[in-house]
Amino acid sequence: QLQLQESGPGLVKPSETLSLTCTVSGGAISSSNYYWAWIRQPPGKGLEWIGYISYRGSTYYNPSLKSRVTISMDTSENQFSLKLNSVSAADTAMYYCARERGSRNYYDFWGQGTLVTVSS
Amino acid sequence: DIQMTQSPSSLSASVGDRVTITCRASQSISNYLNWYQQKPGKAPKLLISAASSLQSGVPSRFSGSGSGTDFTLTISSLQPEDYATYYCQQSHSIPYTFGLGTKLEIK
């Protein structure tokens, strides 16, 4: 059974960089037809797609965050990562990593989520 | 961006009720519409993909329909474990976008 687990600091200072890693077990992130996505949810609010990295390493980002976001992958560790720079309080959210099924682009496996708070 | 409008935003219903949640896209998305269930403190769970394809392990009381801009999620007979928030998501165009959710509460 595929499992995803987010890790990273739970508290980030304003203007600094948020860095999270998603470790995947039970399947290889290099498997074709799957993308690896980050999605966030501010407290009490809805879901926002941040972006994904494909099994080939191609990336696509939400235009609203594109200038601040980088998603990368490490196939040797079976991990993919999110970096979001110049954070503000508006970036406080639960951050989820998820597997995105290519071509139909739905999320069939999710991590449990990690809460990141931006505060000094 | 494609805007996804869900209605109602909240709904009270009793066990055994038939419940319908609607989702409207701001432009045609064919059948690139997915439904998720989220319980408090948990990650969303995929229920239905491609507007009407039930995911493995999801009870058959859940069904989805629609194409183009208008979609529905129906629960044929509400069970206690179905009380949750439901989200639609369009996967037609980047950026993929979600509806604001429908919170299903016990009546």
CB atoms B49 and A113 under 8 Å: no
CB atoms B97 and A49 under 8 Å: yes
Classify residue A26 by its DSSP letter.
S
Q: What is the pLDDT of residue A36?
A: 97
pLDDT in tens, B27-55: 999 999 999 999 999 999 999 999 999 99
CB atoms B100 and A96 under 8 Å: no
Asked if residues A84 and A93 have their Cβ atoms less than 8 Å apart, the reply is no
Range A20-32 average pLDDT: 94
Q: Is the pLDDT reported for residue A31 higher than 90?
A: no
Distance from CA of A6 to the nearest CA of B (A): 12
Per-residue pLDDT band at A103 (split at 50, 70, 90): confident
Asked if residues A60 and A92 have their Cβ atoms less than 8 Å apart, the reply is no
pLDDT in tens, A32-71: 889 999 999 999 999 999 999 998 999 999 999 999 999 9
Q: What is the pLDDT of residue A32?
A: 85
Query: Which residues of B fall below an 8 Å CB-CB distance to A?
Result: 1, 32, 34, 36, 42-46, 49-50, 55, 87, 89, 91, 94-101
Question: In sequence order, what are the residues at sequence separation of 6 or more whose Cβ sits closer than 8 angstroms to the Cβ of residue A26?
Answer: A1, A2, A3
Closest CA to A100 of A65, A60, A64: A60
Per-residue pLDDT band at B107 (split at 50, 70, 90): confident
Q: Is the pLDDT reported for residue A102 higher than 90?
A: no
Length, in residues, of chain A = 120
CB atoms B32 and A104 under 8 Å: yes
